[in-house]
Amino acid sequence: MAPTPSSGLNTPESELEGLLTVHPTAVRRPNSILVQSDNTRYTEEHITAKFHNRSSVVDVSNGHLTITPTVQAYEFQTKRTVGKTGLMMIGMGGNNGSTLCATILANRHNITWHTKTGIQQPNYIGSVLRASTVRIGTEAGTGKEVHVPISDVLPMVHPNDLVLGGWDISGLTMDKAMERARVLDWDLQRQVAPHMALLGKPLPSIYYPDFIAANQEARADNLIPGADKQAHLDHIRADIRKFRADHSLDRCVIFWTANTERYSDIIPGVNDTADNLLAAIRVSHSEISPSTLFAVAAILEGEPFVNGAPQNTFVPGVIELAERHHSFIGGDDLKSGQTKLKSVLAEFLVNAGIKPLSIASYNHLGNNDGHNLSAAAQFKSKEISKSSVVDDMVDANRLLYNPPLVGPKGVATGKGEHPDHIVVIKYVPAVGDSKRAIDEYYSEIFCGGRSTINIFNECEDSLLATPLILDLTILTELLSRVRYRKVESSETKFAPLYPILSLLSYMLKAPLVKPGTEVVNSLNRQRNALETFLKACIGLEGSSDLLLETRIW
């Protein structure tokens, strides 16, 4: 069956005008930025840039702060050629996976469709990398600020070029999976269905009933046979190798977008070290989760793994294994709506000197994610990832919140004062993928006053999550091409970045960071870190909002 023409049937000529104009977020642009500086060198293979990381070391003694500014010079080397990139999703046939495949295909084939408000063109709105800009300076002669698409700063893979594949416990073909999800407009589904059918059905996956809700058993008809976890690991690794070879891929990002699992127990001798974890897999230990098994497979195959769900996939043994193999990992849990807003509003209140006393969040949704989260153990994983989002903002302002008590040996005995933070999620089948989120921020203001802010947010859950999967995949591929060295001697070799990709934090609820470093949940700080890093890779200092030229003679 041939794909339906993208213009649709019986479309009036007046409505067809301009339909061949592709939305700006789907346009490929040549990399047109050239930095003229002694700090930046271009070759056919690399962009090499020097960057000065400026910070301060603070010595605290008897209530006095002594601050010493520091400067460390680095060089970043970015491979300019964007290799052929695959995206293998665990949960490919779910709401997020099927929506991602369908929308990429709609963009790739420029399929337009009818909605009740008119003709809709495909685009990548909601993607930070494809639909937002960054300030790079001021225009010569006019002083006007110049902004460019983030995707123009460095060579990045275009979403349309991703090779799509993956696994799912459900054996529905991808066109039927899209139909089951009920996310996209019917006219788009009608036209993209033949393209989706060509994807076939996902590869068989693994199903350990103890880790996801019992209500998911009805979907589990596409499984790798047996209960031997070592055999399952070998099977998944073989799937990755075959997919990579079949499509001649240079890079393949493995992405968990399947159901939320319960938290895994951290057990000494089982998953606390890399060797113990591999040994536990060999004996099929019951506490090895499906997501951890997929992460191990990706690491051993040298491919990046991103966890888009809230469970603790990255047990200590996985992190050590990633370090050992210099393989990239990132997570956890997509930050698409309510939590993203919370990371902005809580920071706004605290930075304004207003003291949130309680933050109460309520959600109800009717998709399969909501169905799975109706089980207590799986909801607990989500609650943990949502609840920590304001911690760093509270810790940054101990004028408002009492600090942790300190014991006799100078060790903090608790967390310190903190807002009451409540998260509730309810499964309501009737609303489908259209999630409802209600938040109340109850705060103390001047001289004992009170302020209450209530927010009601309704959104198509998968249409917010899908662009984040694209951003995380594209950014992960880019970071795998970046190497760095400290500028101390010309003999220092370039090395890959640390395996935990904390620069992905902007898109994640519970960012995974290097052990021993602090988690940053502030959306503004996460965005600034990402912008600063991308600019550093072309030899630009972070743009200053001081705008000194406007404040002096």
- 8 Å CB contact between 134 and 531: yes
b/e map 500-535, b = 16+ CB within 10 Å: bbbbbbbbbbbbbeeeeeeebbbbebbebbbbbbbb
At 443, give phi and psi (nearest 5°).
-130, 155
* 355 classed as catalytic: no
**What string of DSSP letters covers 257-292?**
-SPPPPPPP--TTTTSSHHHHHHHHHTT-TT--HHH
Say how far apart CA 97 and CA 310 lie, in whole Å.
17
**What residue has token string 């960054």?**
134
Six-digit token pair at 107? 């963009």
Q: Is 11 in a helix, a strand, or coil? A: coil
d(CA 311, CA 429): 23
| Per annotation, catalytic residue among 229, 355, 509, 535 | 509
* d(C-alpha 434, C-alpha 183), whole Å: 8
Q: How far apart are CA 104 and CA 98, in angstroms?
A: 10
Catalytic status, residue 234: no
Which residues make beta-bridge pairs with 450? 444
Sheet containing 40-42: give its strands across: 40-42, 46-61, 64-79, 482-486, 495-496
d(CA 503, CA 508): 10
Place of tokens 């036209």: 191
Look up 509 and say whether it is catalytic: yes
Rounded to 5°, angle at Cα 367 from 363 and 369: 75
Cα–Cα distance measured from residue 298 to residue 310, given in angstroms and rounded to the nearest whole number: 19
The secondary structure of 361-384 as a DSSP string is EEEEE-SHHHHHHTSHHHHHHHHH
* 382 noted as active-site residue: yes
**Which of 340, 382, 386, 535 does the annotation list as catalytic?**
382
Q: Which pairs count as long-range contacts for 107-112, CB under 8 Å and 24+ apart, including other chains?
A: 107/26, 107/159, 107/160, 108/160, 109/3, 109/6, 109/192, 109/195, 110/6, 110/20, 110/22, 110/26, 111/6, 111/188, 111/191, 111/192, 112/6, 112/7, 112/8, 112/19
Instruction: Tokens for 70, please give them.
Output: 């520091």
Which of 239, 333, 369, 439 is labelled catalytic? 333
Which residue carries 């990002």 as its tokens? 253
Residues 335/507, Cβ–Cβ less than 8 Å: yes
Residue of 201, 435, 439, 471 with catalytic role? 435
What are the angstrom distances between the C-alpha of 140 and each of 143, 146, 153?
Answer: 6, 10, 19
Q: Would you please indicate which residues are annotated as catalytic (active-site) residues?
A: 333, 382, 435, 509
